[in-house]
Amino acid sequence: MKSIEVSIGGRKYPVKVTEEEEVLVLDAVKEVNQKLKDFQSTYRMKDKQDHLSMALLTYALDNAKQKGSSGLMDQIQEKTQSLFSALEAIKP
């Protein structure tokens, strides 16, 4: 583990990461800061906390959508397997 310092929304935070995580964390920080800039230019709110909250909500919604779509994929795979089994059963 190593300690790196990241800056999110102009504030610095120490983060402990493995060598493998470092690039992922730095990319995520870059993405979060870009999302903050996008919200700051789109919505002229006084408090940076509002922009951070909106960015967090965006990521939470994206995560929820991914979880929902993976559940849907599981259902599709299950139904497909059932169809294949039914076809195998009637195969001459």
43: its two tokens = 């919505």
- Direct distance between the N- and C-terminal alpha carbons of the chain, in angstroms, rounded to an integer: 60
Query: Residue 54: which pLDDT band, with cuts at 50, 70 and 90?
Result: confident
User: What are the boundaries of each domain within the chain?
Assistant: 2-90
Express each pLDDT in 1-39 by its tens digit: 999 999 999 999 999 999 999 999 999 999 999 999 998
Q: Is 91 helix (H, G, I), strand (E, B) or coil?
A: coil
- Please state, as a whole number, how many other Cβ atoms lie within 10 Å of the Cβ of residue 1: 7
